[in-house]
């Protein structure tokens, strides 16, 4: 079970999120391509996972008892790479190799390239099923580790997601928690214009999931939701994380054009300046 | 009789009452055995439990049998998750759906992801029969063979199907196994050595004029053709290429060189399957005249397996014609 989140730890996590966002901008600038909006939007959640929720050991990425964090929408991997580096999985310096030749940091994550990645992803709609497979293996082996899978809202247009949602509901996969990044954008525009997903909550309820809505930038709310998911044994849980794509960088926020592009020099400078002004002030934002 | 004695093949193969059994039964029998000896073996199915011969496993090991419903992508990716968690999952469906419908899911989550999953493609070839072309997998070898890192095995009869399935559980990494629905002649015996690494010469001649490379159940027709050709004093070798990937390059080259002319035989499109694989090996090493028996760039139709094999020119008569044609080309 995830331990209680004290005020001091919360502040530490929020400061860490800011550090992650800055490093995402620097990493994307160096890479010259990649996705900006999703990684910035999911930063608080990645931070909460790697620095508070997950039962893991960055020095022993193959530890069999570890919790599994499965990233289904692989294109937001810059946030995972940055968070993993800060957590100690690999040297921070290596972030400069993202998307470059001979790198362990593939443009979309590849499990066998980098210890600590639980799967290979990028093609959408496949992570939830793989997480179910891991959850079934844990049950067969009578292990207590939990499986967390991160999906996106756009990816819910894939049929595979609903095949998996049906399966997990039917089989009461209680050791599985899905977190969907409900940021309302995808490559071609706003999700509700491309292919409406609402009512999302009701859809998952109908598939026999436990559903919790949270503000994806409120770490306390998110950690509480994870706690509820951990004590829900007879159903899989989905946490609908309402996030702001591009969070923390004014000109990226809520603009779907930043889904799949990286900042140039000037934009990165401005983004970093904005993020630096938030240093030390983040806690008050939620109050 | 020129059946290779070292391989202890079925001596009654040309009898009228030759034993027949579907290769899919070999899969089912092997799963049952594996269930007993290997607690990590799990079986997934997509609403085709009986047809893909998983029923006995499901009954004996219900906690390790996973019914996915009609959802082949989900089945493949669930298996991928199990396969990276210490399990040995076998996924069972018709090959047109798996690896057909879920091709990219398998590519990403099983093959590239190096998950230890075995993919059983059933109802392969036009011998699927009455169900029609929608259910006759005739491109599956081509689409799986293009992947790196996978092993592709096409058993010629139920014995070999059983052995191939058993052996696949011990192979680390993805394996594709191809099975047929119809009962086909049993060519091998339980004493025939199964060799995943080498093509085996089933019909051996002193002075072959052509080499027939066959895979799957049509190997029987290749052997029948060899036997008939013998009566016409035309000697050939018949080689069983059960493992299409990685292909036995050395064995293929030395067999082909011995005769200088090649015929490939498969219940699959002539593009991208066994014929393609052999052509790739020979064109790089020893270019030789080749003829291809298989589906000639078309879809088949409903009908009885034997009728279809005749109409689509995959029977012994068609193979004999191909042998004569390739000999002419060699000598011409």
Question: Architecture of B20-185 per CATH?
Answer: 3-Layer(aba) Sandwich (3.40)
3-state secondary structure (DSSP) of residue A84: helix
What is the token pair recorded at B326? 């390739």
Kindly tell me the burial class for residue A287, based on how many C-beta atoms sit within 10 Å of its own C-beta (0-12, 13-18, 19 or more).
exposed
Residue B197: which region, alpha, beta or left (left: phi > 0; alpha: psi -120 to 50)? alpha
pLDDT of residue B107: 98
* Residue A56 located in a structural domain: yes
Enumerate the β-bridge partners of residue A241: A181, A214
* Residue A2 located in a structural domain: no
Q: How far apart are CA A35 and CA A73, in angstroms?
A: 11
Chain A nearest C-alpha distance from B297 (Å):
31
- CB burial of A245-255 (b: ≥16 within 10 Å; e: otherwise) equals bbbbbeebebe
Q: Tens of pLDDT along B268-308?
A: 999 999 999 999 999 999 999 999 999 999 999 999 999 99
Cβ within 8 Å, pair B85-A138: yes
Phi first, then psi: give them for residue B214, nearest 5 degrees: -125, 155
Of A120, A141, A164, the CB nearest to B112: A120
Which is nearest to B143 in space by CA: B320, B271, B43, B40? B271
Q: How far apart are CA A262 and CA A285, in angstroms?
A: 27
Cβ within 8 Å, pair B73-A135: no
pLDDT of residue A134: 98
- Radius of gyration for the alpha carbons in chain B, expressed in angstroms and rounded: 19
* Secondary element (H or E) of residue B297: none
Q: How far apart are CA B119 and CA B110, in angstroms?
A: 10
Chain A nearest C-alpha distance from B34 (Å):
17
Give the residue from A123, A126, A207 with the most B CB atoms within 10 Å of its CB, the best one to mutate. A126
Count CA atoms closer than 13 A to B16's CA, side-chain side. 0
Residue A122: which region, alpha, beta or left (left: phi > 0; alpha: psi -120 to 50)? left
The complex scores an ipTM of: 0.95
What is the token pair recorded at A135? 């959850």
The DSSP bridge pattern shows strands B175-178 and A237-242 to be unpaired
Distance of CA B53 to the CA centre of its chain: 17
How many CB atoms are closer than 10 A to CB B146? 13
Of B69, B74, B82, the CB nearest to A136: B82
Q: Tens of pLDDT along B165-190?
A: 999 999 999 999 999 999 999 999 99
> H-type helices in chain B, by residue range?
23-37, 55-60, 72-83, 103-106, 140-145, 158-170, 219-231, 249-259, 274-285, 305-311, 316-331
| Number of domains forming the structure of chain A | 1
- pLDDT more than 90, % of chain B: 99
How many CB atoms are closer than 10 A to CB B135? 18
Locus of tokens 């969070």: A247
> In terms of residue numbers, what domain contains A215?
7-285
Q: Tens of pLDDT along A211-261?
A: 999 999 999 999 999 999 999 999 999 999 999 999 999 999 999 999 999
Judge whether B72 counts as a catalytic residue. yes
> In chain A, which residue's Cα lies nearest the Cα of B105?
A126
Q: Tens of pLDDT along A165-193?
A: 999 999 999 999 999 999 999 999 999 99
Assess whether the previous peptide bond of B284 is cis (omega < 30° from 0).
no
Which is nearest to B266 in space by CA: B199, B187, B213? B213
What is the token pair recorded at B285? 């090493």
In the predicted model, what is the mean pLDDT of residues B118-131? 97
C-alpha dihedral (A137, A140, A142, A147), degrees to nearest 10: 30
Of B69, B78, B105, the CB nearest to A132: B78
Q: How far apart are CA A91 and CA B22, in angstroms?
A: 55
Q: Please state, rounded to an integer, the average pLDDT across all residues of chain B.
A: 97
User: In the A/B pair of chains, how many CB contacts fall below 8 A?
Assistant: 103
Cβ within 8 Å, pair B114-A159: no
Per-10-residue mean pLDDT, chain A, length 287 = 90 97 98 96 98 98 98 98 98 98 98 98 97 98 98 98 98 98 95 96 98 98 97 97 97 93 96 88 49
Contact of A65 with chain B, judged by CB distance below 8 Å, is answered with no
pLDDT of residue B332: 87
Q: How far apart are CA B187 and CA B189, in angstroms?
A: 7
Which is nearest to B322 in space by CA: B280, B268, B273, B275? B275
Catalytic residue among B72, B160, B235, B291: B72
Helix count (H) and strand count (E) of chain B? 11, 14
pLDDT of residue B241: 98
In the predicted model, what is the mean pLDDT of residues B310-324? 98
> In chain A, which residue's Cα lies nearest the Cα of B106?
A126
Cβ within 8 Å, pair A126-B105: yes
* Secondary element (H or E) of residue A21: helix A7-31
Of A123, A133, A166, the CB nearest to B81: A133
Cβ within 8 Å, pair B108-A135: no
Q: Tens of pLDDT along B102-121?
A: 999 999 999 999 999 999 99
Regarding the domain delimited by B5-17+193-331, which CATH topology (the fold level of the hierarchy) does it fall under? Rossmann fold (3.40.50)
pLDDT of residue A2: 85
Distance of CA A218 to the CA centre of its chain: 14
- Radius of gyration for the alpha carbons in chain A, expressed in angstroms and rounded: 18
Q: Tens of pLDDT along B49-101?
A: 999 999 999 999 999 999 999 999 999 999 999 999 999 999 999 999 999 99
Contacts of A164 in chain B (CB under 8 A): 74, 77-78
> In chain A, which residue's Cα lies nearest the Cα of B68?
A167
> In chain B, which residue's Cα lies nearest the Cα of A170?
B68
* Residue A99 located in a structural domain: yes
Phi first, then psi: give them for residue A204, nearest 5 degrees: -70, -35
What is the token pair recorded at A186? 């995808």
CATH number at residue A15: 3.40.50.970
Of B64, B66, B77, the CB nearest to A130: B77
Q: How far apart are CA B78 and CA A167, in angstroms?
A: 10
Cβ within 8 Å, pair A132-B76: no
Phi first, then psi: give them for residue B249, nearest 5 degrees: -55, -50
Which is nearest to B246 in space by CA: B176, B156, B293? B176
Q: What is the pTM of this model?
A: 0.96
pLDDT at B263 over 50: yes
pLDDT of residue A283: 52
Residue B228: which region, alpha, beta or left (left: phi > 0; alpha: psi -120 to 50)? alpha
Domain locations in chain B? 5-17+193-331, 20-185
Cα–Cα distances in angstroms (integers) from residue B93 to residues A1, B82, B119, B149, in the given order: 39, 18, 9, 22
> In chain B, which residue's Cα lies nearest the Cα of A127?
B77
Cβ proximity of B211 and B261 under 8 Å: yes
Q: How far apart are CA B83 and CA B194, in angstroms?
A: 25
Cβ within 8 Å, pair A134-B71: no
Cβ within 8 Å, pair A133-B89: yes
Contact of A129 with chain B, judged by CB distance below 8 Å, is answered with yes
pLDDT of residue A280: 65
DSSP string, B111-151: IITT---EEEEESBSGGGGGG-GGG-B-SHHHHHHTSTT-E
* Residue A102 located in a structural domain: yes
Q: How far apart are CA B126 and CA A202, in angstroms?
A: 45
């Amino acid at each position: 079970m995830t331990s209680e989140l004290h005020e001091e730890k919360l502040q530490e996590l929020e400061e860490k999120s800011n550090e992650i966002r800055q490093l995402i901008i620097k990493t994307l600038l160096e890479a010259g391509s990649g996705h900006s909006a999703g990684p910035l939007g999911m930063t608080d959640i990645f931070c909460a996972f790697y620095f508070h929720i997950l039962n893991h050991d960055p020095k022993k990425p193959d530890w069999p008892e570890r919790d599994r964090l499965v990233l289904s929408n692989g294109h937001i991997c810059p946030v995972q790479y940055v968070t993993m580096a800060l957590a100690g999985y690999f040297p921070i310096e290596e972030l400069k190799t993202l998307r470059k030749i001979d790198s362990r940091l593939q443009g979309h994550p590849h499990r066998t390239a980098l210890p600590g990645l639980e799967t290979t992803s990028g093609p959408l709609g496949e992570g939830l099923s793989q997480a179910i497979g891991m959850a079934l293996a844990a049950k067969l082996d009578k292990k207590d580790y939990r499986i967390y899978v991160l999906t996106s809202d756009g990816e819910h247009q894939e049929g595979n997601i609903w095949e998996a949602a049906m399966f997990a509901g039917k089989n009461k996969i209680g050791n599985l928690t899905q977190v969907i990044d409900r940021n309302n954008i995808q490559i071609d525009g706003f999700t509700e214009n491309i292919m409406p997903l609402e009512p999302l909550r009701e859809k998952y309820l109908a598939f026999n999931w436990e559903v919790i809505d949270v503000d994806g930038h409120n770490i306390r709310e998110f950690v509480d939701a994870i706690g509820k998911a951990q004590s829900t044994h007879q159903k899989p849980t989905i946490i609908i994380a309402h996030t702001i794509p591009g969070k923390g960088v004014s000109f990226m926020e809520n603009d779907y054009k930043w889904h799949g592009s990286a900042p140039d020099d000037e934009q990165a400078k401005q983004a970093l300046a904005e993020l630096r002004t938030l240093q030390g002030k983040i806690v008050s934002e939620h109050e | 009789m020129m059946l290779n004695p070292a391989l202890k093949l079925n001596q009654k193969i040309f009898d009228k009452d030759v034993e027949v059994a579907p290769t899919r039964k070999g899969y089912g029998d092997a799963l049952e055995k594996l269930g007993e000896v290997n607690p990590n073996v799990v079986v997934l199915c997509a609403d085709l439990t009986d047809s893909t011969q998983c029923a006995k496993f499901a009954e004996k090991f219900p906690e390790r049998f996973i019914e996915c419903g009609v959802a082949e992508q989900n089945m493949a990716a669930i298996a991928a998750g199990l396969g990276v968690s210490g399990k040995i999952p076998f996924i069972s469906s018709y090959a047109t759906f798996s690896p057909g419908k879920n091709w990219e899911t398998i590519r990403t989550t099983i093959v590239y992801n190096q998950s230890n999953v075995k993919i059983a493609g059933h109802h392969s070839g036009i011998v699927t029969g009455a169900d029609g072309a929608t259910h006759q997998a005739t491109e599956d070898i081509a689409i799986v063979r293009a992947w790196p890192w996978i092993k592709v095995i096409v058993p010629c009869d139920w014995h070999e199907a059983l052995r191939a399935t058993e052996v696949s559980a011990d192979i680390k990494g993805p394996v594709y196994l191809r099975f047929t629905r119809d009962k086909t002649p049993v060519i091998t015996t339980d004493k025939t050595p199964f060799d995943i690494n080498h093509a085996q010469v089933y019909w051996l001649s002193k002075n072959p004029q052509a080499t027939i490379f066959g895979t799957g159940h049509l190997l029987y027709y290749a052997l029948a053709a060899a036997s008939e050709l013998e009566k016409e004093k035309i000697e050939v070798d018949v080689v069983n290429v059960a493992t299409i990937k990685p292909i036995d390059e050395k064995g293929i080259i030395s067999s082909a060189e011995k005769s200088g002319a090649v015929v490939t035989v498969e219940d699959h499109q002539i593009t991208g399957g066994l014929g393609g694989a052999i052509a790739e090996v020979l064109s790089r090493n020893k270019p030789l005249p080749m003829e291809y028996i298989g589906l000639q760039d078309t879809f088949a139709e409903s009908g009885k397996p034997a009728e279809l094999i005749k109409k689509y020119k995959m029977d012994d008569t068609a193979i004999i014609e191909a042998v004569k044609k390739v000999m002419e080309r060699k000598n011409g």
